[in-house]
């Protein structure tokens, strides 16, 4: 189990995350949703160890993450960034092989190569294995980044908006891959998501963030309500049911609540 307890993060004058309490269990998909700039990515970066929280603890399988070495941490938690800039040419195989870094000292072993080949095969990436990563489409790149995180062989997988910039088919493919990975390998995934419908369809639990605080958490049915969405996003929606998942259809924004607040205070 991965647990976040009393987490605070901020820069000099601004607090971005306030007192977050989150648990992530084996075999579940947890979506973090919320408006832009609400701290979703920051939260993931804190858990991955890319940035250090100001206060609070992150426990990974009973061990304090702040006391773990970088490599030990990298063997527990995998991270898929929104995009991966690459200034230099790199083949897809090498890009995925990077995921084996925590296990490599001088050179990748035979086992590392086989693991990567296996993953590429299972994710239907074998045809582009020796292509240049930069020349792939957005959907293929996302899959390769996901494959890298799989190669990292961790129990916890954090993904920062895995479906942004993807077409419908790639959105489905990527989320289905994550879903099947979580169920078959009994790993746990935490997704920062923008698309509320995809999030509620694919996740077991959701956390709705508002201005760095947890507004509401629980099963998609409990979190995705008219009132919650109205007060966090300032958008009127209708919610219907589709195959047992809440389906959200936006109607219109409820006036420029943010600006009004600014002036009144």
Partner 1 sequence: MCIQIEEFRDFYMQDICEQYKDFSTRKLFFIFLLVVVLFGVVLIALSQGASSVGFFESFKALFGQKTGLAHAIVWKLRLPRIVMAILVGCGLALAGSVFQAILKNPLASPYTLGIASSSGFGAVVAIIFGGSYYSQYLIAGSAFFFALLASLLILGIARFKSATPETMILAGIAIMFLFSSLSSLLQYMGTVEEVHEIVFWFFGSLSKVGWKEIGVASAMILLPVPVMLRWSWDFNLLAAGDESAKALGVNVTRIRMFGVIFASLITAAAICFTGVIGFIGLVAPHIARMVIGGDHWFLLPASALIGGILVLAADTLGRTCWAPQVIPLGIVTSFIGVPFFFYLLMKKKREYW
Contact 53, 43 (CB under 8 A): no
Residues 73-92 that bind partner 1 (CB under 8 A): 73-75, 77-79, 81, 84-91
Told to check if 184 binds partner 1 by CB under 8 A, we report no
Q: CB 246 → partner 1: shortest distance, Å?
A: 32
Rounded to the nearest whole angstrom, what is the least distance from the CB of residue 260 to partner 1 in the complex?
Answer: 34
Nearer to partner 1, 126 or 195 (CB): 126
Q: Could you tell me the smallest distance in angstroms from the CB atom of residue 164 to partner 1?
A: 16
CB 41 within 8 A of CB 16: no
The residue within the footprint of partner 1, chosen from 8, 15, 28, 126 (CB under 8 A), is 126
Q: How far is the CB of 144 from partner 1 (least distance, A)?
A: 11
Nearer to partner 1, 97 or 248 (CB): 97
153 binds partner 1 (CB under 8 A): no
Query: Among residues 120 and 237, whose Cβ is nearest to partner 1?
Result: 120
Closest by Cα among 159, 94, 160 to 131: 94
Instruction: Check binding of 94 to partner 1 (CB under 8 A).
Output: yes
């Amino acid at each position: 189990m991965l647990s976040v307890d009393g987490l605070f993060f901020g820069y000099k004058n601004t607090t971005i995350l306030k007192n977050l309490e989150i648990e992530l269990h084996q075999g579940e998909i947890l979506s973090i949703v919320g408006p832009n700039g609400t701290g979703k990515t920051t939260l993931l970066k804190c858990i991955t160890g890319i940035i250090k929280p100001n206060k609070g603890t992150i426990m990974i399988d009973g061990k304090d993450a702040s006391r773990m070495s970088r490599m030990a941490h990298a063997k527990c938690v995998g991270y898929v960034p929104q995009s991966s800039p690459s200034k230099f040419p790199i083949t897809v195989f090498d890009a995925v092989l990077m995921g084996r870094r925590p296990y490599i000292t001088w050179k990748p072993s035979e086992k590392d190569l086989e693991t990567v080949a296996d993953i590429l095969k299972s994710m239907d990436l074998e045809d582009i294995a020796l292509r240049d990563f930069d020349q792939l489409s957005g959907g293929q790149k996302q899959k390769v980044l996901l494959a890298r995180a799989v190669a990292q062989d961790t129990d916890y997988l954090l993904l920062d908006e895995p479906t942004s910039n993807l077409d419908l088919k790639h959105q489905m493919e990527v989320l289905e891959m994550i879903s099947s990975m979580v169920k078959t390998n009994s790993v746990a995934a935490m997704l920062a998501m923008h698309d509320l419908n995809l999030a509620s369809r694919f996740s077991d639990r959701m956390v709705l963030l508002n201005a760095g605080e947890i507004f509401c958490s629980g099963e998609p049915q409990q979190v995705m309500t008219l009132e919650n969405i109205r007060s966090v996003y300032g958008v009127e929606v209708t919610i219907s049911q589709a195959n047992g998942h809440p389906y959200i259809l936006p109607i219109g924004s409820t006036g420029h609540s943010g600006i009004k607040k600014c002036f009144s205070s």
